Structure 1
């Protein structure tokens, strides 16, 4: 299992980004969380097999929301991320 945390910057708040990210995660079979941050970014924790995580990252970088636009994305592997049961929007 691969565990990552991502911070996504760009036009990612107020455009349905979190809910579209959840839809993509559910389709691919990824668990984790997505939430808005006070600085305008979106924070994601994702857990799943390496190939599915790679597919998920690519989808997020393209912006799952048609109205959104990803300018930058930082990704870190973190073995300490919990094993989530599902993918959910947390705020």
Structure 2
């Protein structure tokens, strides 16, 4: 799936028990379900960082699912920042 320039884009930082619990794979599956493009990665401070782009309703549903997490994670905080730059992603990926 190719992101379109008129899609909305957000940057997210997820805090809590979100590493070593399958959270990135959960995020990848959820992004594909909602036709979201972008990437997810672990950060050295124990948080997970996500850059996501998609249509408004799909992006809202994706953010809601990330806030809930998978059954092994515990999301304590989710910071969502709208992004304005014209980055166009081709797919959703887990990056190192």
What TM-score do the two structures reach when normalised by structure 2?
0.91
Match of 1:80 among 77, 81, 85: 85
Q: Which of these two proteins has the greater Rg computed from alpha carbons?
A: 2
Gaps of 5+ in 2: 1-6
Ranges of 4+ aligned residues in structure 1 off by more than 2 Å: none
CA RMSD of aligned residues (A): 0.8
Question: Hey, what's the Cα distance between the residues in 2 that align with 1:66 and 1:34?
Answer: 18
Conservation of the 8 A alpha-carbon contact between 1:34 and 1:43? yes
Matches of 2:87 and 2:39, distance apart in 1:
10
TM-score by length of 1: 0.96
Residue 84 of structure 1 and its aligned partner are, at CA, apart by 0.6
Q: How does 1:11-90 map to 2 (within 5 A)?
A: 11-63=17-69, 65-80=70-85, 82-90=87-95
Alpha-carbon deviation of 1:82?
1.6
* Aligned length, in residue pairs: 90
Name stretches of at least 5 consecutive residues in structure 1 with no aligned partner: none
